[in-house]
């Protein structure tokens, strides 16, 4: 149980393109989902907390107009990287946690984004 | 906010030996401590977790110990195997419904056959 599906797994696109990444909890409802960015050989950097039915909470230094998050249902959150540039190239990973307290978070497979 | 420090950053052991990774946290309110294993290019996977009302937890070759007073917790892997080679992350969280985890910087474990 507790499967999180993330798509696409790989994106290569030109500078200026907007890219949407989907994160779905397949067998549980998630009121909260998290979006991370990971650079090579580095830790998981939390970008924002996605809350179902309300605005996302962004970490300090993360541009909310650049990284648009929508959490329209209890099983789906999306991250849109708007007008992507080469410096946005990274590995983006989402995670979700069942609504009950004391539950671990489960990660998606990640999306490797390459902006040319 | 919470700050998690993880040591060592790299660890190399011989197959069959034990491996220990240590983390310290700063926020005494944190009460949930998971450990994740991440293989190259793959998702982090939960391998074991511990809550603050427990001092030790074991699952086959993996164990985690927690010292709340000193605010540190450790991952112990016994009888290591080459397939244990990966990056391991510790995390700390205050377990509210919206609680976010703070991750350590990771430890790259290499098990030599």
The whole-angstrom separation of Cα B25 and Cα B72 is 6
Distances (CA, A) of A53 to A2, A73, B11, B79, B90: 21, 7, 43, 47, 30
Using a CB-CB cut-off of 8 Å, the residues of chain B touching A55 are: none
pLDDT, tens only, A44-82? 999 999 888 888 999 999 999 999 999 888 899 999 999
Render chain A in DSSP notation, one character per residue.
---EEEE-SEEEE-TT--EEEEEEESSS--SEEEEEEE-TT--EEEEEEEETTS--EEPTT--TTTEEEEEEETTEEEEEETT--GGG-EEEEEEEE-SSTT---EE---EEEEE-
Cβ pair B64, B48 in contact under 8 A: yes
Residues of A in Cβ contact (< 8 Å) with B105: 42-43
Query: What confidence tens digit (pLDDT) does each residue in B56-90 have?
Result: 999 999 999 999 999 999 999 999 999 999 999 99
Cβ–Cβ contact B28 with A under 8 A:
no
Q: CA of B32 to nearest chain A CA: how many angstroms apart?
A: 8
pLDDT tops 90 at residue A95: yes
Average pLDDT, chain A: 91
pLDDT at B70: 95
């Amino acid at each position: 149980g507790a499967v999180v599906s993330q798509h696409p797994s790989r994106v290569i696109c030109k500078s200026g393109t907007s890219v949407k990444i989907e994160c779905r909890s397949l067998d549980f409802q998630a009121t909260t989902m998290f979006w991370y960015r990971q650079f090579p050989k580095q830790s998981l950097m939390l970008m924002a907390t996605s809350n179902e039915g309300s605005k996302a909470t962004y970490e300090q230094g993360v541009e909310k107009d650049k990284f648009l998050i929508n959490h329209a249902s209890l099983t789906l959150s999306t991250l849109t990287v708007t007008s992507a540039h080469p410096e946005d190239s990274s590995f983006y990973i989402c995670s979700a946690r069942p609504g009950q307290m004391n539950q671990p978070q489960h990660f998606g497979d990640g999306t490797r984004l390459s902006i040319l | 906010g919470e700050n998690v420090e993880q040591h060592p950053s790299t660890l190399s052991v011989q197959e069959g030996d034990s491996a220990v990774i240590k983390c310290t946290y700063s926020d005494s309110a944190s009460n949930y401590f998971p450990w994740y294993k991440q293989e190259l290019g793959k998702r982090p996977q939960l391998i074991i977790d511990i809550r603050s009302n427990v001092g030790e937890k074991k699952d086959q070759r993996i164990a985690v110990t927690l010292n709340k007073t000193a605010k540190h917790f450790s991952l112990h892997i016994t009888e290591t195997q080459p397939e244990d080679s990966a990056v391991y992350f510790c995390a700390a969280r205050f377990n509210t419904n919206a609680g976010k985890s703070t991750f350590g910087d990771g430890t790259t474990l290499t098990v030599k056959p």
